[in-house]
Chain A
């Protein structure tokens, strides 16, 4: 009897589309709620030692906000791996002792803010690293700055990040430095006159990169044949690429993260588009080659980090990282690694975990030798360093000539 009622109810329900709509909208809401709630899997390291000076060694706790679950978790993974490796190396040196408290932001601004609030409520935290995305960073940094806690972005390359406040820093090379360098070199060699553009329009990083690209292209007087967009996590780019192919560009400027960018290149090459691609910071990763294979050949990027470099420090970093995590490090891991060394250096010079003193000494960072080269902050807390233009040739990154 109950069964019949239930089935009858279902049948009636199915007949009326409006009800289906309401059920569907409930379903969507639930799904959203579920997505928002499933990302609490964070890694926290909790030793009993709080920030104190024992045996003359300064011991500090740094909060880390990183993109560890969701579509872009690969970036957060690389960053936290880089940080953990740096932590190990710094603590082994014995000049300072660093503890990391890692929280997940799931790539969402609101969750990043929650994570930041959780970290800020802990008075023993000296400073913060992260969050991963510029979108998240713009939500978190003003709050953190207001509380007088130093914060540094290791992967946040959009314009205007260090300008948020006195306590806000970054060691990620801004797009406005990297992209024009790459485009200029690419145009110099190929003699390109017409460019097509494609970018992800729902992320501050790829959108910011696109704006820099557009500005540079206009300054250089190049013709833009078409501007195409895609959304995060899309897997079919054939429609956009067919359109680009129809406009016959000499060069394609793709402001994409490597995850999407590599798939875009793969589909473009299959379609018979064989012009070079110029990418932003987020495109520079050996993973692009791992995903796209031969199709990645012809990608031009500017970067502070050249993984195939013969430099002894980078070689050692590559070996250590691969031994620890089983894959090659990318720019994100390298920048995170350097970031913790910048913090460690500031901590050593400050000699205390006081946030104010730490900020002063951090701002004074000058010509610090990291794996990415000499590093200094300018007066607002932005990066001063040299970039190298690279291209992918025969399945690996080489210096672009």
Chain B
């Protein structure tokens, strides 16, 4: 039973981590919390449900469709709601936050009208594939989720530290003005960041749909809040922190249910986050120096 619960916890934690990666990327570069990220994730899940369930597409195509749709959403989010607010005189630094909240409500209500209320099943034969080891059942989906989250983390870390675009992104995150003076196309970099973060959210949406077989217009809100808590726990703007924070939250929630009372699942998980932050206010991987946020 312990082993099964560990698998449950790692699956949940990996999902949290993937969602947190999207938050952390946008925060690292733009310094804003993208409140619409949870809803972009939800849209990704619905794209998965629609393409596999209604249109009968294969799963890999569903992933691509989800990535395309959420990337477009990310692009629109940046162009329509974030860029016009950037660097304008008298714009409060809370303004982009508010405008992303607006986008999140818009997306939630929109999908409510398009797809209707309630849970939609995610029917793919892929989510039925399982491996039995003794009395323990592991689903391939659970392994895939874990592997994808690790790959995304490693990929992002390498991309940020080794590639030219990654370096430009870090320069932009460091100082937008200086980076643009030095010849970095900061507009392009910011768009790239938001689009990649959104695409990661889209991937997470399809994965969650497959793993839990439930997709609803409200799923973005609670996942979004958890993602937010995780980046604070792991350290704002830190890729490794998002991964570790996600796993900590997922595992602790699962273990609380397994060996404690399921009624206190969220409460105790968040109390734990508060305690960690009291001991390490900058988060697990956060550094006190604002420049080394990654």
Contact = CB atoms under 8 A, between A and B. Distances in A.
Most B-side CB within 10 Å, residue of A11, A38, A292: A11
B282 A17 contact: yes
Interface string A39-75: 0010000000000000000000000000001111110
Interface string A231-248: 101111111101101100
A27 B33 contact: yes
Interface stretch (B54-62, B66-74, B158-166, B207-215): B207-215
A17 B279 CA distance: 12
Contacts, number: 163
B112 A10 contact: no
B52 interface: no
Given A14-B31, A287-B118, A2 B87 contact: yes
Contact of B257 (A15, A18, A240, A272): A240
Contacts of A237: 212
A243 B257 contact: yes
B198 interface: no
Interface string A144-183: 0000000000000000000000000000000000000000
A235 B215 CA distance: 8
Contacts of B11: 238
A7 B289 contact: no
A175 B228 CA distance: 39
A9 interface: yes
Interface stretch (A186-194, A258-266, A382-390): A258-266
Contact of B214 (A4, A228, A263): A263
A30 B94 CA distance: 11
B101 A34 contact: yes
Interface in A95-127: none
A267 B213 contact: yes
Interface string B80-106: 000000010100011001100100010
Given A34-B105, A239-B5, A291-B214, A73 B258 contact: no
Contact of A13 (B87, B93, B219): B93
Contacts of A3: 87, 176-177
A290 interface: yes
Interface size class of B (residues with CB under 8 A): 35 or more
B241 interface: no
B109 interface: yes
A35 B101 CA distance: 10
A14 B176 contact: no
A234 B120 CA distance: 14
A10 B33 contact: no
Q: On chain A, which size bracket covers the interface? A: 35 or more
B263 interface: yes
A24 interface: yes
**SS class, residues of chain A in contact with chain B:** helix
A233 B213 contact: no
Nearest to B178: A4
A7 B212 contact: no
B288 interface: yes
A222 interface: no
Given A24-B232, A290-B121, A242 B93 contact: no
Interface of A: 2-4, 6-7, 9-15, 17-18, 20, 23-24, 26-28, 30-31, 34-35, 38, 41, 69-74, 77, 201, 228-231, 233-240, 242-243, 245-246, 259-260, 262-263, 266-267, 270-272, 287, 290-293
Given A70-B218, A238-B8, 16 more contacts: A3-B176, A7-B31, A10-B31, A20-B232, A23-B33, A30-B101, A201-B263, A235-B214, A235-B216, A235-B219, A236-B211, A239-B9, A242-B258, A259-B118, A270-B130, A291-B120
7 contacts: A10-B31, A17-B281, A228-B262, A239-B8, A259-B118, A291-B119, A292-B121
Interface of B: 1, 4-5, 8-9, 11-12, 31, 33, 35, 87, 89, 93-94, 97-98, 101, 105, 109, 112, 116-121, 123, 128, 130, 137, 139, 175-177, 208, 211-214, 216, 218-219, 221-222, 225, 228, 232, 236-237, 253-254, 257-258, 261-263, 265-266, 277, 281-283, 286, 288-291, 293
